[in-house]
Amino acid sequence: MKLRRALVVAQKEVSEIVRDRIYCALAFLLPVVLMLVFGYGLTQEVQNIPLVIVDNDRSAQSRDYANRFIESRYFEFKGYVSSVRAAEPLLLDGDVRAVIVLPALFQERLVSGLPVDIQTFVDGTFTYRLRTIDGYLQAINQAVSGELQSQYLARTTGVSNERAQQALQPLRVETRYLYNQELREIWSIAPALIMFVLTLTAPLLMALSVVREKETGTIYNIYASTITRAEYLAGKLLPNVIVSFINGILLVLIAVWYFGAPLKGDVLFFLVAMFVYVVWATSLGLLISVIVRTQMAATMVTVVLVMVFVMQFSGMMIPVSSMTGANNAIAHSIAAMYFNDVVTHTFLKSGGLEASWREFVALILLMTSFVSFGFLLFHKRSKS
Amino acid sequence: MTGVEQSIGERVALWLRQLGVMTLKEFPQLVRDRPVFAYIVFIFTLDIIIAAGQSVELNNAKVVINDADQSMASRELTYRFRAPYFDVAETNLHPDIALSWLDRGQATLLIDIPPNFSESLYRGDEVATVQMLVDTSNANIGFLAASYGSRIAAELGTQFTAQRTASVTALPRIDNQRRVRFNADINESWFSSISELLAVITVACIFLPAVAMVREKERGTVEQLLVSPLSPFQVMFAKVLAMMTVMLIGTAFSLFVIMQPLFDVPARGSLALFFALTALYAFATAGIGMLAATFARNTAQLGMLLMLIVFPIILLSGLWVQLESMPTWLRQVMNLTPLRYFIDIAYGILLRGVDIAIIWDSVLKMTAIGIVLFGVALWRFRRQFGG
């Protein structure tokens, strides 16, 4: 392999990228847009849940209770309705996602220290929202219930309100959130998205650039020339790695400046790890380009691989520690998991080489083996 | 036919036959591209199965406990952190070591039980305090773990109170009798499999006809088609018709062979209506791809342009983010995507069992958007080729 000849291929590749203005713009625009859209889409808090209330008691206490929901920013009160039946079409059309029914004698029973059953109907079509809505309902209900109980106990037994509260709940949990004290979802999503978007775009760019030559037939010039496959592949990999690495830096800047995620750890180590990861991801693209013949297929295969494997097993959604058996094994065999670990550590846990050396070694091993695989599988003579 | 005037009937028949032949031409093209064919098979089978297994629920979160009390009460608390939400890995871990578990991502929750825990709990004159440290580097998981953990502790506390104050009179209490409509058992796979089905239909309908279009442009075969006695409409619409057929077969397969037998996904409304509207949706969505295809010169450009369009549509049309909590301007943009209406339609028919009387407005809007998209694409296509 001669470096000079590899550089000639690289130069040809660069002019190909630069001359196709639209492609060139999209190569840098796509990761940025994906980062922004996913960052926004994955962190949206469930709020303004449309709600109607059926108040069969119409007492001061029932209005008080309803007001807790009306004033909450999580719910958007759409008005009182006369009966459950009147609320039904609203639920069916998806105009309302929750209905609360307060029974007659609501106030009377509570004042005399008796339990009251209220009814809520929740739209169960979107299950992930359901859990959140349920949580809000429960939290508000428990808060009101707890207040009523301590007031009642204080009134009937003559102790202070504070004392009554303590008697009712003798166990307290002091919760401390580590690494992300304010529970900002974007802080945990933004670093993971650097990994995710790179895993999607770096292989795509590489696969497209090889398959495009296959599809338009220019690859036969390469097949016919004296250039070796090592020279060709090195020349192809180099510009694409550089493009994706620049994209990686753009993503880090978006995460820090736009999304405000903290970058607590060793930046230099992180950049080195990101470079290794980009080389791995680019050679994944090379492997994909060996299998497929059309650019459409290259795009589809990349998207499917990334969406299915990376989202599921990299730890960006579900922590690897809670995976068992086969899932755990799959997670440990993909580079995305190791890089996700490095990203999370660097951003939130002030990590560096010392904390992440195992992951770093794994990344280097995977990178080396993927590059070699790509080299072995890519043949200068097409099969058919 | 030479020189003979064609009747309108004959011309319509010829037009339809041309369209039919053009549509049929797409199928072998699709099947012969092995990776694409494999992709279509994959999205309607395995992909749906994998997606249906996805859960946002807390599952098996690892807990480490530093139990300095070693009493019955502390063991009871430890015992309650169990499957499916939690999995206790260690119960007697030195705090520093336990902390390093959190640091290395091996545990999500660290619970520190102080030595006087059970004493204060039984005596009841001071509040027994437990410390809970949560790894919130994944904010969502961390939040769930923290709130479930607090709930477990609160329940234990209430039980102790109930035991101690059994003699005290009953307390007022508001019990929420919650009922979940349309999915009474909260079967997560219903939502996730339907949402995945909508997502894969969207991706395929935007990508496949658009790429088929640009490929003909790139290879110059579109010129051949345009000098033939075919109108640009026939050339474009044939691709969409082929796509609609493939999507209907795929959807039927997913629904009857995978979603219903494996996950008991109900179809409470009319299936005929569902399939008719799925075909309509495929048409409307293909319009997006067709329009994009008139802007791209080669497949590489198109592939990236489409990803730029597809991901926002799938994420922000209401499958992942609920429309109510988005800013107004963004909601208005999303009102222009067919998927936003098809979500109402598909969940409405399958889960809520509604008929056309309730969803007619969504159907109307979806159709209108499809016609506009397709019309603009056709206009641009005609102009580009001077047809």
Asked if A42 contacts B317 with a C-beta cutoff of 8 angstroms, the reply is no
Is the bond into B114 cis (omega within 30 degrees of 0)?
Answer: no
Q: What are phi and psi of B130, to 5 degrees?
A: -120, 135
Interface pTM (ipTM) of the complex? 0.85
- The pLDDT, as a whole number, for residue B182 is 92
Taking only residues 235 to 264 of chain B, the set having a beta carbon closer than 8 angstroms to any beta carbon of chain A reads: none
3-class DSSP assignment, residue A237:
helix
Q: Which fold is adopted by the domain A49-168?
A: abc type-2 transporter like fold (3.40.1710)
- The pLDDT, as a whole number, for residue B209 is 87
Instruction: Write out the residue limits of the CATH 3.40.1710.10 domain(s) in chain B.
Output: 61-162
DSSP code at position B257: I
Asked if A120 contacts B176 with a C-beta cutoff of 8 angstroms, the reply is yes
The residue among B20, B26, B16 whose CA lies nearest residue B211 is B26
Taking only residues 277 to 336 of chain A, the set having a beta carbon closer than 8 angstroms to any beta carbon of chain B reads: 291-301, 303-304, 308, 312, 315, 318-324
Question: Tens digit of pLDDT for each residue in A372-381?
Answer: 998 898 887 6
The shortest CB-CB distance from B172 to any of A27, A113, A134 is to A113
Q: Which helix (H) or strand (E) holds B61?
A: strand B61-67
Asked if B68 contacts B110 with a C-beta cutoff of 8 angstroms, the reply is no
Closest CA in chain B for residue A74: B325
Residues in B touching A133 (Cβ below 8 Å): none
Ranges of chain A with pLDDT below 70: 381-384
- The pLDDT, as a whole number, for residue B1 is 47
Minimal C-alpha gap between A156 and chain B (Å): 10
The token duo for A119 is 């009814």
Classify B61 in phi/psi space as left (phi over 0), alpha (psi -120 to 50) or beta.
Answer: beta
Cβ–Cβ of B33/A176 closer than 8 Å? no
Supply the CATH classification number for the domain B61-162.
3.40.1710.10
Instruction: Write out the residue limits of the CATH 3.40.1710.10 domain(s) in chain A.
Output: 49-168
The residue among A345, A322, A314 whose CA lies nearest residue A180 is A345
Spatial CB neighbours of A152, under 8 Å, sequence gap ≥ 6: A113, B171, B172
Ranges of chain B with pLDDT below 50: 1, 167, 387
Cβ–Cβ of A173/B160 closer than 8 Å? no
Closest CA in chain A for residue B138: A188
3-class DSSP assignment, residue A130:
helix
